[in-house]
């Protein structure tokens, strides 16, 4: 079979081969649409709108392997969505007595929106499993390196010492924030059923049958019961209203996925920086190779996660923009969601898998961290010295002395302790232990306590 013209992930190493890719592929969407169609007929049978035999027949025919995805895609061009040709093929695939009950009373958006929720739920399950792996790995790193001192950096420069344990605990906190946002969205994903314009009118019309005209109260109760049964058959939440143009579910998915990508991207970006050759404080367990430079072990997992973090916000923006949808079914806004949602799910799904593999195999190099603490010959603790010298010299004089000492440290190639020891005019310095005060490993503040507190979160 020729794959020409088929997207097999050649330009998408971030998601190629991942479970999220399979969960969001064309076949997965086809399966979800068929699940929605089968559930609709079963729900109608549940409330007496269809014979049980029809529900059985439609469910049996709703097998994705019986349908040609490419053919459906090409035929979708004429009607603007793939549900229309799918309904035709599904109707042809069932016995004649079941055919009238295929898709009866529904509209294409009912099926498409419900399929999107099914695909999203299945993919979010995968993402949540990866987030659990990632937070577990980061908790282990935070515990192991609770007291591993390293330079803290602000605006790319050394600031004050910190610990790698606190850094890993911070990454984990973001991952848990993502988990705590994804879970309620996944658990609240609703089915969609409203009919042509969100009134459920057709279902009442089919049910009316021999009942006298004007039996609208019975129709209303039947519609509500049908939606409940439909959601129950799908394992989705019953919506309060049809949401054809009330796109909260889609916007919620967009928001939590963009946040998750950013949360994972923070850790990846830090790891990329700290794995630079001239730093080498961290390294990936299995770096990638280069096509031209045999010596390289590139931080590929971090790179792919960081790439996802850059892509996700734009995809989420498309979904948020589609909230401004006119009438009871928009022209274009709804259609714009399909590819953006799929791309966002698989982008973040791929990133979450890479993040789990990255953190589970991350290598920490404390010796490099310790070496870098000494790069500024003690200046990394100038904040501490300011606080210690201010009571002796006054704030202005202490700042003046330390500014001068910092300049001399850089110019003379001596340590800050050595420079301060012979700094003229430092009355009272005999009471100060410069060796202890300029030791960066003794100036980590509450890093250990903060790490412990962060690790209490489950």
For residue 457, count other CB atoms closer than 10 A to its CB.
13
SS (H, E, C) 18-44: CHHHHHCCHHHHHHHHHHHHHHHHHHH
- Helix ranges (H only) for 188-279 are 201-208, 216-234, 248-274
- Residue 321 CA to residue 262 CA, distance in Å, equals 20
Q: First and final CA of the chain: distance in angstroms? A: 49
Active-site residue, from 104, 140, 311, 329: 329
- Residue 248 CA to residue 242 CA, distance in Å, equals 11
Q: CB–CB of 193/106 below 8 Å?
A: yes
Does the active-site annotation cover 52?
Answer: no
- Residue 97 CA to residue 89 CA, distance in Å, equals 15
DSSP letter at 168 equals: H
Token match 């009442």: residue? 204
Does the active-site annotation cover 415?
Answer: no
- Residue 294 CA to residue 93 CA, distance in Å, equals 57
Backbone angles phi, psi at 161, to 5 degrees: -65, 150
Burial of 391 (0-12, 13-18, 19+ CB in 10 A): exposed
Q: CB–CB of 67/91 below 8 Å?
A: no
- b vs e for 77-93, b when ≥16 Cβ sit within 10 Å of the residue's Cβ? eeeebbbbbbbebbbeb
Active-site residue, from 211, 276, 290, 453: 290
| Catalytic center residues | 290, 329
């Amino acid at each position: 079979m020729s794959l020409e013209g088929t997207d097999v992930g050649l330009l998408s190493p971030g998601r190629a081969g991942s479970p999220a890719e399979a969960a969001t592929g064309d076949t997965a969407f086809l399966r979800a649409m068929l699940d929605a169609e089968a559930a609709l007929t079963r729900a109608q049978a549940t409330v007496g709108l269809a014979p049980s035999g029809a529900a059985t027949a439609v469910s049996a025919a709703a097998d994705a392997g019986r349908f040609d995805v490419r053919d459906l895609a090409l035929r979708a061009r004429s009607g603007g969505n793939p549900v229309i040709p799918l309904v035709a093929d599904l109707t042809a695939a069932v016995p004649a007595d079941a055919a009238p009950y295929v898709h009866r009373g529904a509209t294409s958006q009912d099926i498409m929106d419900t399929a999107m929720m099914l695909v999203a739920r299945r993919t979010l399950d995968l993402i949540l499993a990866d987030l659990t792996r990632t937070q577990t790995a980061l908790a282990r790193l935070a515990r192991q390196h609770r007291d591993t001192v390293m330079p803290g950096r602000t605006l790319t420069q050394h600031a004050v010492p910190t610990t790698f344990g606190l850094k890993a605990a911070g990454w984990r906190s973001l991952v848990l924030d993502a988990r705590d946002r994804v879970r309620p969205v996944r658990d609240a994903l609703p089915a969609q059923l409203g009919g042509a314009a969100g009134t459920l009118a057709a279902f009442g019309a089919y049910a009316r049958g021999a009942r006298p005209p004007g039996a609208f109260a019975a129709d209303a109760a039947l519609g509500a019961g049908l939606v409940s049964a439909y959601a129950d058959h799908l394992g989705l939440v019953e919506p309060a209203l049809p949401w054809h143009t009330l796109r909260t579910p889609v916007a919620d998915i967009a928001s939590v996925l963009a946040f998750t990508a950013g949360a994972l991207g923070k850790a990846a970006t830090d790891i990329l920086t700290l794995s630079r050759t001239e730093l080498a404080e961290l390294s990936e367990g299995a770096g990638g190779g280069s096509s031209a430079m045999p010596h390289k072990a590139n931080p590929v997992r971090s790179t792919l996660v960081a790439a996802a973090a850059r892509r996700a916000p734009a995809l989420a923006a498309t979904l948020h923009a589609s909230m401004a949808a006119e009438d009871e079914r928009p022209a274009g806004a709804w259609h714009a969601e399909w590819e953006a949602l799929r791309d966002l799910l698989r982008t973040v799904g791929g990133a979450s898998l890479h993040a789990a593999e990255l953190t589970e195999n991350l290598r920490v190099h404390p010796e490099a961290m310790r070496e870098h603490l000494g790069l500024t010959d003690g200046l990394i603790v100038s904040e501490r010295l300011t606080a210690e010298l201010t009571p002796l010299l006054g704030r202005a004089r202490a700042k003046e002395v330390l500014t001068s000492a910092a300049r001399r440290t850089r110019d003379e190639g001596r340590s800050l302790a050595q420079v301060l020891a012979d700094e003229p005019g430092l009355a009272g310095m005999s009471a100060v232990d410069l060796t202890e005060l300029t030791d960066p490993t003794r100036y980590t503040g509450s890093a250990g306590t903060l790490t412990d507190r962060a690790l209490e979160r489950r």
